[in-house]
Amino acid sequence: MKRMRKTISVWVLAALLILLPGCWDEVNLQDVSYVSAIGIDYQDGQMILYGQMLNFASIAKSESPASIPAETWLGRGKGKSTLLALYDLMRGGYSSINLEHLKTVIIHERATGKIDDVLDALNRQRASRYTSLIFGTTSPIEDIFTTENFFNQSHLYSVMYAPKPHEDQYTFIEPLQMQLAVQTIKEPCELTLLPVINSSQTYWKKGKKPISTQLISGLFVFKDYKYLGYFAEKSVIGLRWLNEDFHKVYLEANADGHTGTVSIKDAKYGVDIDTAGEEPRFRLNVSLTGSLIELDGEMTAGQIESSIEETVRGQIQSLYEIGIKKGVDFLELEHRLYRYHNRFWHSHIKDKDWVPDPKFLAEIDVKFQLSDSGKYDLQAAHNLPD
C-alpha cells in the first residue's frame, strides 16, 4: 500500500514538472536591438523616424573614464504615418527592434503639425513608456543624436537623456514627460510647453577643436493640439520665474555705477483674480530669495533688492507682451479662469478666441529678499547721498 502511494506521488510530481513553464520565451540580448531614443520629422508628405541605439558596454559603470568614445547607431525609416515609419525602420534591422527602453522622443518643428499622430502612435505601442522625455528641435535630428559627450561617457549622460543636472544649475523650463504632454495638450485652455533641444558648437572645445553639444534653446508652444510657434529662450526668459521646479538663477544688480551678482535660490508665484466686472483683472505676485555672491563697488541691501525686483518685473512684463503680440497666453490666465472661476469663464470667455490684453494684467508685484551678503559688507542705507 505504501509502495503504491509512493508510486502515485512520483507520477503526480512528474506531471506537475511537465506542466511547469520553462524558459521558452527567453530572449538573448544579442537578438534584440533596444532603441533608447527616437526622432520624428516630416518632409514631402512622409513621416521620417530616426532611432538611436547605444552600446550596452558603454553604459555600464566603470571606476575609470572610458578609453574610447561611446558609440551610437542611428537608423532611419519613413512612411505615411509614425507607425508605418517605425515599421520601415524595422525592415532594415538585423535583429528585433524593441522600444521597451525608450527614454527620449524628439520632434522636429516640421512635424509639429502631426503632434496628434505622433502621440497617438507612441502610446499605442505597448512597449513605449509614458515616462519618456519629450523634446522639440529645429536642428537636424541626426545632429542631435550624434553630439559629443565629455570624457567619452555614454550618451545617457546628456541633456536629452538626463536633463535634471543641467536644470539644477540653470533654471529655464522644466523637462517634460510624455504623460504630462498628453495630459496638458488635451486640457482645455492649457498650454503645452515643449523644451527645444538643439546642437551647439558655441560653448566647448576639445583641445582647439569645437565640439557639438546639446543645448536647450527655447520652446514649442501647443494649445488644443494646435502649434503656436517656436520661441527662443531669450524672448521668453521670464518663464523661469513661473517654473514650479525652480532651482537657481544668477542675476546682475546695478546701482550708481556699481554692480553685484545675486544667486536666486527660491522663487514662488501666485495669481490673484478679480472677476467683479465684465472683464477679468489679474495680479501676479512673485516672491524671491537669494544671496549676494559678487560685489563691485558699494551698494546697500535695499539697492540690490530694488534692482533685482526691477529686472524680474521687466522680464515677466516682456513675456506678457510677447504673448499679446503672438496671441499666446504664457501666464495661462485663461486656464486659471477655467480652473478656479469656471462660472465666469463659461459666461464671458467660452467659445471666444481669448488672447492676452494689456488691460487684463493689473500689476506684477515682485518682492526680493536678500537672505545674506556672504563675505561682503554692504553699505548702510543712511550713508547714501540723497
> DSSP 3-state assignment of 36?
strand
The DSSP line for 305-369 is HHHHHHHHHHHHHHHHHHHHHHT--TT-HHHHHHHH-HHHIIIIITTS-----TTTEEEEEEEEE
Amino acid 126: pLDDT? 65
For the cut 70, the answer to whether the pLDDT of residue 380 exceeds it is no
Phi, psi of 151 (to 5 degrees): 60, 25
Measure Cα distances from 20 to 14, 17, 39, 50 in Å: 10, 5, 42, 41
Matching residue, cell 521670464:
238
Could you give the CA distance from residue 64 to residue 351 in angstroms, rounded to a whole number?
61
* pTM greater than 0.75: yes
Taking only the tens place, the pLDDT of each residue in 170-226 is: 889 989 999 899 889 988 889 999 999 999 988 988 889 999 999 999 999 999 889
What b/e string do you get for 126-144 counting C-beta neighbours within 10 Å, with b at 16 or more?
eebbeebbbbbbebebeeb
The CATH H-level (homologous superfamily) assignment of domain 248-386 is Nutrient germinant receptor protein C, domain 3 (3.30.300.210)
What letter represents residue 17's amino acid?
Answer: L
Could you give the CA distance from residue 151 to residue 163 in angstroms, rounded to a whole number?
18
Matching residue, cell 529662450:
233
Residues whose CB falls within 8 Å of the CB of residue 267, separated by 6 or more in sequence, listed in order = 240, 241, 243, 246, 249, 286, 287, 288, 289
Amino acid 383: pLDDT? 40
Could you give the CA distance from residue 368 to residue 263 in angstroms, rounded to a whole number?
11
Domain map (residue ranges) of the chain: 31-55+68-236, 248-386
Could you give the CA distance from residue 111 to residue 11 in angstroms, rounded to a whole number?
63
Taking only the tens place, the pLDDT of each residue in 29-51 is: 555 778 899 999 999 999 999 99
Taking only the tens place, the pLDDT of each residue in 120-172 is: 888 877 666 778 999 999 999 999 999 988 887 888 889 999 998 888 888 89
Residues 51 and 103: beta-carbon distance below 8 Å? no
What b/e string do you get for 10-20 counting C-beta neighbours within 10 Å, with b at 16 or more?
eeeeeeeeeee
Q: How confident is the model at residue 14 (pLDDT cuts 50, 70, 90)?
A: low
